[in-house]
Amino acid sequence: ITYDVEGSYKDLLPSSITCNPISKLFRMGFGMQTLFNTCTFSIFSAVRANTILRRTDIIHAHLSLGSLIASYVTKLLGVHPALLCDMHGLGLEEVSFVNRRLTALARLIELHALNSADLIIASNPILKNSLVKEYGLSSKKVKVVWDAIDVDSYCGVNIKDVTQFRSRLGINRDEILVLYLGTISRIQGVDLLLEVMPLIKKEIPKIKFLVVGGRWNREYTKYLSKLRKFAIVLAGADYISQVPVIVNAADICISLKGMSNQSNAKLLVYGAAGKPTIAFDVPINKFILGEYGIYLRYPLSDRYAITEAVVKAIDRSKDDDYKKCLIQHIKKNFDLRRLRDELLGIYQKLL
């Protein structure tokens, strides 16, 4: 039970393992209507896939919501496959409720979902620490498995497609395109991005911003209208299959996500394309980008420091050796086959 992965995922599992994604769960963002659509879709999908589920050994659920749905659907159908839940962050860190009682209720629901799983994958050690200390989960129940990416899909893009994409956006050859890719929300640093965009454009007039992002919570509409004043904005769901072309069309990339227990997987995408990336000097970012990141001190006290980082990133965008080293760094540490091998080991233990 996962995101909509139809036509976008690569199956590297051996022929002895059959993967049947039940997807399209989180395309519309968080809200009661979305929750209703999600549950309705999942229940009807499960009913239609009754035969498949009865032959399923392991359900690999993405996020606590996927785990919660999987636990109830399997009980409804009277089947008992092992339940694995992979987490990229806590739901309560993304979704904020004004009412404290609602927040407490959401926490209980998320905890129940996590307890329903036989094993939990945390995408980084900071998240595992939060799950163990804040949620009281057993350390043995939570295993750290870092994210991975198919690097070849990003560094082998046809240059003609990239040129045509830039042309459609109206980006001239001498203009610098800065890309932000990810959900449009406060925790992703979009509020700070909005704050520094006019400063950067004032200092470097040839800069243009491209924001490719999706909806996750109620902040989306508020941010969207503001972003359009400074950037070209594309809906993530409409362009998901074009991400390799989009990233390669950018000159430099940016992520102003601060200290968090969440992963910052967009950095893998930026790095796989060899793009100089501006990010905060926090453990998760440094682990992903290593010596190749262009780091800002966190929290950002001097807003003009980001302009200096942009200038540095522009210089690195012209360095072919830097790009090759960054791509090799990502491939060495975050290759999709490494993830496959780790998952196969976990699947074997669950059987």
Each residue of 293-337: pLDDT tens digit?
Answer: 999 999 999 988 999 999 999 999 999 999 999 999 999 999 999
pLDDT at 107: 86
Choose from 45-59, 73-87, 222-236, 329-343 the range with maximum mean pLDDT.
Answer: 329-343
Mean per-residue pLDDT over the chain, rounded: 86
For residue 144, report the phi and psi dihedrals to the nearest 5 degrees.
Answer: -85, 125
**Which of 297 and 97 is assigned the larger pLDDT?**
297
Q: How confident is the model at residue 6 (pLDDT cuts 50, 70, 90)?
A: very low
Residue at token pair 């092992």: 82
pLDDT at 35: 46
Domain at 152-334, CATH homologous superfamily: Glycogen Phosphorylase B; (3.40.50.2000)
pLDDT at 48: 55
- Helices 63-77 and 100-116, packing angle to 10 deg: 60
CA atoms within 13 A on the CB side of 1: 32
Q: Which CATH architecture has domain 32-148+335-350?
A: 3-Layer(aba) Sandwich (3.40)
* pLDDT (mean) for 83-103: 76
Buried b (16+ CB within 10 A) or exposed e, 312-323: ebbebbeeeeeb
CATH 3.40.50.2000-classified regions of the chain? 32-148+335-350, 152-334
CA atoms within 13 A on the CB side of 146: 18
pTM: 0.88
pLDDT at 231: 96
pLDDT at 13: 78
Question: In this structure, what DSSP letter does residue 98 have?
Answer: S
Q: What is the pLDDT of residues 178-226, one digit of tens each?
A: 999 998 888 899 999 999 999 999 999 999 999 998 766 667 778 888 9
pLDDT at 169: 95
* pLDDT (mean) for 275-285: 97
pLDDT at 341: 94
* pLDDT (mean) for 115-143: 95
Nearest to 192 by CA among 234, 226, 233: 226
Over 90: is that where the pLDDT of 16 sits?
no
